[in-house]
Structure 1
Amino acid sequence: MFKKTLLALTVSMMTASAAQAATVYNNDNTSLNLGGRVQSNINSVFATYDFDDTDQHKVKVEGSARLNVDAKTRIYDGVNAAAFAEWQVASESSENGKFDTRYATVGFETDHFGSLKFGQTESALYNVLGVTDVYEDIFFSANTLGAYADGGRQEGQIIYSIEDLNGFSFGATYQSAGLRGVKSGAAFSLGYTFNQESLPIFLGAGYDTYNTEETEAQNEDLVGLSSSLSRDSFGFGLSVGEIGDGFYGAAGYQLSKYAKRNGYKLNDVNSYEVVAGYGIEGWQFLLGYENAQFGGETVVNDIDLEIKYNFNDQFLVYADALLAPTNHTENRTVPDYVRFKDKAHDLLTVGVQYNF
């Protein structure tokens, strides 16, 4: 059964994406691995990625496919050159077969001094807040990691990470110009894992900062404000156990503070997520809650459930449900990285997934 360890959750998600990859070449300190997955879902109308309130269809079948490439070659004693890329495409021909880049990094990996890479992946703050990113399709939308890039995978970064230093892990990312008007940015994370051999407990803290272009911000539009204002945020993460192997519990908190511009000031964003679950003999059960106060308005307030069964490392089936007990903000000013833009809607998705 595929399991994400605590340490894996504190580094880039590209590691998890390559976990199912098959080696197609490995010779003379050079390797090439290919992997991916094919997935199909039966979704309630509000679970679709392009939902429309006027849509009369109550269920919809949607699918997607991913392909990733992981390559390494030894270039010096203790140093590898490494490249990783992953793309996703919708299975419906009506989506025009567009491939979206999820990850694309290239750089250096060392045996003892960490890795230095360049390209598109999550920022270092994800190493801390990613402890609650354990569902197949839902959850993990309360934080503001996706403010400047869909899914929080930011292009144009310099990424340094090192882990397992007597239990410590460290990450640092630098954001170059061009990301949704960001002139520059940086993020840092520091974590420590206790009891690695028995019941691992991870504690982490992180910080990110972004300096944006001088564009006019509209006071009534939180979307414009959240993506056009410079910001600083602080994150804290805690997890206990290993996902899919017995008990797993995690919690993440983020405080985002935005700069004032042209007389406009967005209130602080407070967000938190908690999740608890249990995995045994291929089964996994998860229950979570997420909440975010954005600009003084509640924009996320969800209860999230998942049940999953892994037949083996390759094939799994699952059901995800999101229950929204109270309405989100009634106006349409919620940032576009929050899926449900105007009202609270329950959703249900049932999926089958094959990994290779």
Structure 2
Amino acid sequence: MKKTVLASVIAGIAFSGQTFAVELYNNSGTTFSLGGHVSVGLGNPDSNDDAYITDDDLVIESLSPRINFNATQDLGGGFTADAKGEWALNMLEGGGESFKTRLGYIGVTHEMWGRVVGGTQWSPYYDVGGIADMPIAFANDFLYVDGGNLGTARAERMLSYRKGLDFDSFGLDFGLGWQGQNGNYGDRAQVTVSANFSKFMVGYGFTTGSKTGQDDAMANLLSAKYGSYGDGLYVAGVYEMGSKFYGDFDTTNIEAIVAYALANSLNFSVNYESIEDDDNNETQLSQMALQVEYDFTPTFVGYAAYQIDLGDDISSDDDRYALGVRYYL
């Protein structure tokens, strides 16, 4: 039997990356847990993210720290309800905004009828598109460009449906997502399908919807992977075509990763990403990263990474590096 994406969601009420949680309550079909992670390290962050930092500055940084709560309730009849709230933490600046919403949703799951989720959530599009978004330090960028409004990563104000079919030799997963009016974006919709067999997965995603004053922001995405990240050989690639970023011209976006984890949990990876403006024949982004991660314990992970700017036509970004530790709560 093949474990589909939906089955994984039912089992863990979580998707994307390495997830840990401390269960605080479990009684009469109700559970409650806390999770998340914090990280501290040295690096030279992108100067576009902070006007006071240049590309040459060495600073203490924290990579996407967050805290979350997770609750589930057995509703009977094979239905399970779950709720999740997750907030980004401000670890390094006193007096600033301490918390910022990353996720907040309620879901209802039935093993036969599927799963419905309402709120800010990881989208079905990310289910098939986020397979190369794995390393701690440097990973996928293009899925996050206005991703909340576009619904290509964490989707804001989304209603989604997922259904998994499990056969003897393979599994199929289907996903649908809808967002209503959200800022400059009107109604948006997406559909995904993926097939899982042995250690392989192939997927397809489509997203489209209106944007004020521009053509529809849309994209088609193809993806494939082999293995599990952190367990021996892992290979994944994502190819996206559309006009979802800029509205008035087409782009081709690529993300690929090859990783190999040794038996002692030392995990080496190489990933590549590019964004090409097809209409103007310009490279918007082109970069490659060499990275290594090591699990000192299952919840305490060290990382070191070097990202090489391969050159583009719109900026003169410098190479970036990161060295630090992450602690999973």
Partner of 1:31: 31
Which of 294, 298, 306 is the matching residue for 1:313?
298
Q: Verify the 8 A CA contact 1:143 1:292 in the aligned structure 2.
A: no
Deviations 1:162-188 (A, max 9, x none): 23532111111111111x311100111
Match of 1:210 in 2: 209
2:175 matches 1:171:
yes
Task: Tell me which residue corresponds to 2:324.
Answer: 351
The Cα shift of 1:55 comes to: 3.7
Deviation of the 1:14 alpha carbon: 3.8
> What's 1:218 paired with?
none
Could you say if the C-alpha distance between residues 154 and 136 of structure 1 is closer, same or farther in structure 2, counting changes exceeding 3 Å? same
Aligned-partner Cα distance in 1 for 2:13–2:46: 23
Overall identity of the aligned pairs, in %: 22
Distance 2:161 2:222 in 1: 20
Q: Is the 8 A contact 2:79 2:108 kept in 1?
A: yes
Q: Confirm or deny: 8 A CA contact 1:6 1:242 kept in the other structure.
A: no
**Taking structure 1 as reference, are residues 154 and 314 closer, same or farther at Cα in structure 2, changes over 3 Å only?**
same
Corresponding residue number in structure 1 for 2:313:
329
Structure-2 residue corresponding to 1:74: 74
Conserved in 1, the CA contact under 8 Å of 2:15 and 2:122?
A: no
Give the corresponding residue for 1:278: 260
Cα pair distance change 1:323/1:315, threshold 3 Å = same
- Asked if 2 retains the 8 angstrom alpha-carbon contact of 1:6 and 1:241, the reply is no
User: Which residue is 2:217 aligned to?
Assistant: 231
Q: Is the 8 A contact 2:7 2:164 kept in 1?
A: no
Cα distance, 1:111 vs. partner? 2.6
Shift of 1:114: 1.7
Contact 2:301 2:325 (8 Å CA) reproduced: yes
Report which stretch shifted further, 27-36 or 293-302.
293-302
**8 Å contact from structure 1 (residues 18, 35) kept in 2:** no
CA contact (8 A) 1:143 1:254 kept: no
RMSD over aligned Cα, in angstroms? 2.9
CA distance in structure 2 between the aligned counterparts of 1:71 and 1:122, rounded to whole angstroms: 17
Supply the distance in 1 between the matched residues of 2:24 and 2:162 (Cα, whole angstroms): 27
Q: Residues 6 and 202 of structure 1 are in contact (CA less than 8 Å); yes or no, is this contact kept in structure 2?
A: no
Q: Judging changes above 3 Å, is the alpha-carbon distance between structure 1 residues 65 and 242 closer, same or farther for their aligned structure 2 residues?
A: closer
Deviation at 1:153, TM superposition (A): 1.5
| 1:182 equivalent in alignment to 2:185 | yes
Any stretches of 5+ residues in structure 2 without a counterpart?
none
User: How far apart in 2 are the matches of 1:270 and 1:211?
Assistant: 20
Question: SS at the partner of 1:97?
Answer: coil
- Gap change, CA 1:81 and 1:324, over 3 Å in 2: same
The answer (yes or no) to whether the contact 1:285–1:308 under 8 Å persists in 2 is: yes
What TM-score do the two structures reach when normalised by structure 1? Answer: 0.81
Judge conservation of contact 2:6–2:114 (CA < 8 Å) in 1: no
Give 1:106 deviation, angstroms: 0.4
After TM superposition, give the deviation of residue 8 of structure 1 in Å: 8.3
Quote the Cα distance in structure 2 between the aligned partners of 1:24 and 1:54.
40
Q: Helix, strand or coil: the match of 2:124?
A: coil
Tell me the matched-pair count: 317
Once the 2 structures are TM-superposed, how far is the Cα of residue 7 of structure 1 from its aligned partner?
A: 4.3
Q: Displacement of 1:9 after TM fit? A: 12
1:301 matched to 2:286? The reply is yes
Matched, 1:255 2:241: yes
> Cα distance, 1:241 vs. partner?
0.8
5+ long unaligned stretches in structure 1: 216-227, 331-341
**Contact 2:140-2:273 within 8 A present in 1 as well:** yes
* Cα deviation, residue 95, structure 1: 6.0
1:208 partner amino acid: T
**Are the counterparts in 2 of residues 240 and 248 from structure 1 also a CA contact under 8 Å?**
yes
- The SS at the match of 1:291 is strand
Shift in alpha-carbon separation, 1:202–1:124, aligned structure 2, 3 A: same
Using structure 2 for the length normalisation, give the TM-score.
0.87
Post-superposition offset of 1:6: 8.6
Which amino acid is 1:324 matched to?
D
Q: 1:129 to 1:30 in 2, by over 3 A?
A: same
Name the SS for the 1:240 alignment partner. Answer: strand
Mapped partners of 2:225, 2:85: distance in 1 = 28
Secondary structure of the corresponding residue to residue 131 of structure 2: helix
Instruction: Give the Cα–Cα distance (whole angstroms) in 2 for the partners of residues 355 and 345 of structure 1.
Output: 30
